[in-house]
Amino acid sequence: MVMTETPDQASDYRWVVMGIWLTASVSGFMILSTLGILLPAISEDLELSPTQQGLLGSAAFWGNLALAIPLSLWTSRYSPKILTTVTLLLGTGFLFMQGWAPVFAVLLLGRLAFGITMIARQPARAFLMQQWFPQREVVLVNGIANAMFGLVVGGGLAAAPFILSALGDDWRTTLNLFGGLFAVLTILWVAFGRERVTTDFRRLLASQDTSVLKGTLRHRDLWVGGLGFVGATTAWSAFLSFFPTMMLNDHQVSLRWSGSILALGVFMGGASGLAVSWAVSVTTRGNTILLALGALMAASFAGMTFTGSIPLLIGLTFINGIGWGFWPVLYTVPFHLTGIRPRELAMGIAFMMMMSSIGTTLGPLLTGLLQEASGDLRLSLLIISFGALSVSIAGMFLRTSSPPRQEAVAAAAQTSEE
């Protein structure tokens, strides 16, 4: 969709709106990603088996598998202001629930529910981007979002061991601290979050027929891009949950070093995503770039299972972070689909998140099961590493992974008006 108003008419306030929204979004992922740092303390306190640890690592993403599509169909009916406010409030409550959890089942339920609030909030992002940004800025916004992901999630991973240590290795207080962070973000959104409902946006929303799901899932590239996420996020979530444990047990590498190593990869992924977004927008070579990045990720993940050398691990995770520049390219695929309408775009984003969540669910669960079957955590992570090649496969089969040319955008807009 191309809005008839110019970017200047949208005003620079669009960056305030998306800045707060994206900060809340990446903060949620930061909280989920620090589980690997908290897991040894949680496991000792609640006496968890490897399978239970895997279940806990994947629980936040279970709801995405079963509910992403129907939940987005429902929540896409509500305004982004209301939807974001409600899901942030619920997310705050579920974080405090995890900090209080007296038994494993309550902790598991709280993590599952927190993950559901995150996927329920995604239609708001699609609507806000259509309301505030022209299509040519979408890949840039997603690149900035990826950079914010690197800064916030990477910073959280680096800081989590120090926070945990400062709090006397009390994982409950750490989770309650995260709950306080979400409460502050909720207040900021209520105070500064705004919508910009233009005439064009109203017209396109009103023209949406009832076949939202069918209109969304008919696009081949949506499936190819979604499958590209699966293997990569499988490997990533497995390493986030179990790499610190493997380093501690096999090489006596402290949690602080493990957290810092993982954080470096996430930091680099954020910077790489911004650079790759720019490269794709000016070269239209997105498919070739995806082929290379998938291979880099798989090779570096595998290499991280063979060494306890800090310098080598730093180099490997630096390379791995470069590979993660693929994220904004695949995530932008729904925005490039010809003639896509607001609720279909919201569904397309939800579909991508669901496919990503398939991987983040499978990673810890498969690793825990493989470890229990083989007794070898290193071998389990090595096997999972090669899932990142799914990004290369997506690069082979996507019809387009770059922003459409201006004439194509204009044609799509004309089609939407007819």
Which CATH number characterizes residue 299's domain? Answer: 1.20.1250.20
Contacts of residue 27, Cβ cutoff 8 Å, sequence gap at least 6: 152, 181, 182, 185
Domain housing 88: 8-417
Q: Is residue 254 part of a domain?
A: yes
Residue in the block written with tokens 């079963």: 66
Q: Which residue intervals of 168-219 are DSSP H helices?
A: 171-192, 199-207, 212-217
Q: Is residue 2 part of a domain?
A: no
Contacts of residue 349, Cβ cutoff 8 Å, sequence gap at least 6: 72, 122, 123, 125, 126, 331, 334
- Indicate yes or no: pTM above 0.85: no
Give the single-character DSSP code of 209.
-
Q: What is the pLDDT of residue 191?
A: 92
Q: Is residue 1 part of a domain?
A: no
Helices (H) and strands (E) in the chain, counts: 21, 0
Q: Is residue 354 part of a domain?
A: yes
> CA 251 to CA 353: how far, in whole Å?
35
> CA 236 to CA 284: how far, in whole Å?
27
Residue 342 near residue 214 (C-beta atoms within 8 A) = no
> CA 176 to CA 232: how far, in whole Å?
30
Domains: count for the chain: 1
Q: Is residue 266 part of a domain?
A: yes
Q: What is the pLDDT of residue 413?
A: 38
Q: Is residue 263 part of a domain?
A: yes
3-state secondary structure of 416: helix
Q: Which two tokens stand for residue 96?
A: 């405090």
Angle, helices 286-303/377-385, rounded to nearest 10 degrees: 170
Q: pLDDT in tens for each of the 418 residues of the chain? A: 333 444 444 578 889 999 999 999 889 888 887 887 888 888 888 888 877 887 887 777 776 666 777 777 787 778 889 999 999 999 999 999 998 988 889 999 999 899 889 888 888 888 888 788 877 777 778 888 878 877 887 788 778 888 888 888 888 999 999 999 999 999 999 999 888 876 666 655 555 555 767 777 788 888 998 899 999 999 988 988 888 888 888 888 887 788 788 878 877 887 888 888 878 777 777 788 899 999 999 999 999 999 888 899 999 999 998 998 888 888 888 877 776 777 777 788 878 878 887 887 788 888 888 888 888 888 989 999 999 999 999 988 887 655 544 433 333 334 333 3
> CA 57 to CA 241: how far, in whole Å?
6
Give the single-character DSSP code of 167.
T
Q: What is the pLDDT of residue 403?
A: 53
> CA 266 to CA 155: how far, in whole Å?
9
